[in-house]
């Protein structure tokens, strides 16, 4: 009986991992943290806008699992930008962040690189994150493997 229970427990733990969708692109949005937090909760990075060292939370508030679609476009500086559409969970997380953390920063990390820093200046309830530039063609190709493209609006 113990062996049977152990087998069921093992199956419950390992089967969901085996059926999980493999992700090609890593997308993380971290909120600005409290400078008094220990290194367990936050880490220090240099802010692009101010040039100062700021603390960011180690646990992302939004990840690649919260994205359902995106729309890439070429930016003026030779890189790419994109508009990301979040699912309901991501939309609620972004809405909550934009209310609770107004005046602070969000840090967008894609495939291990800090792409941009966004200042929270108003409520964002539409579930969309806009990255103006900084993405590579390789980033866009990886994103196409994970998410569908947003259709262009009718004119």
CA angle 74, 72, 69 (to 5 degrees): 175
Considering only residues 151 and 137, tell me which one the structure prediction assigns the higher pLDDT: 137
User: pTM of this prediction?
Assistant: 0.77
The answer to whether 27 and 94 have CB atoms below 8 angstroms apart is no
Does residue 4 register a pLDDT over 50?
Answer: no
Instruction: Select the CATH number that applies to the domain covering 23-149 from these four: 3.30.750.24, 3.40.50.1110, 3.30.1360.200, 3.40.50.1820.
Output: 3.30.1360.200
Under 8 Å CB-to-CB from 63, ≥6 apart: which residues?
27, 28, 29
The answer to whether 81 and 149 have CB atoms below 8 angstroms apart is no
Domain ranges within the chain, ordered by starting residue: 23-149
Q: How confident is the model at residue 80 (pLDDT cuts 50, 70, 90)?
A: very high
């Amino acid at each position: 009986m113990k062996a049977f229970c152990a087998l069921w427990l093992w199956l419950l733990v390992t089967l969901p991992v085996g059926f999980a969708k493999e992700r090609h692109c890593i997308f993380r949005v971290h909120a600005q943290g409290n400078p008094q937090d220990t290194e367990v909760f936050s880490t220090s990075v240099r802010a692009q806008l101010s040039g100062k060292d700021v603390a960011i939370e180690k646990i992302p508030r939004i990840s690649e699992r919260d994205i359902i679609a995106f729309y890439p476009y070429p930016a003026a500086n030779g890189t790419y930008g994109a508009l990301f559409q979040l699912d309901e969970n991501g939309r609620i997380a972004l809405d909550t962040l934009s209310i609770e953390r107004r005046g602070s920063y969000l840090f967008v990390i894609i495939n291990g690189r800090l792409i941009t820093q966004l200042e929270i200046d108003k409520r964002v309830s539409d579930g969309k994150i806009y990255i103006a530039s900084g993405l590579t063609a390789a980033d866009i190709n990886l994103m196409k493997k994970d998410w569908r493209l947003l259709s262009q609006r009718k004119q």
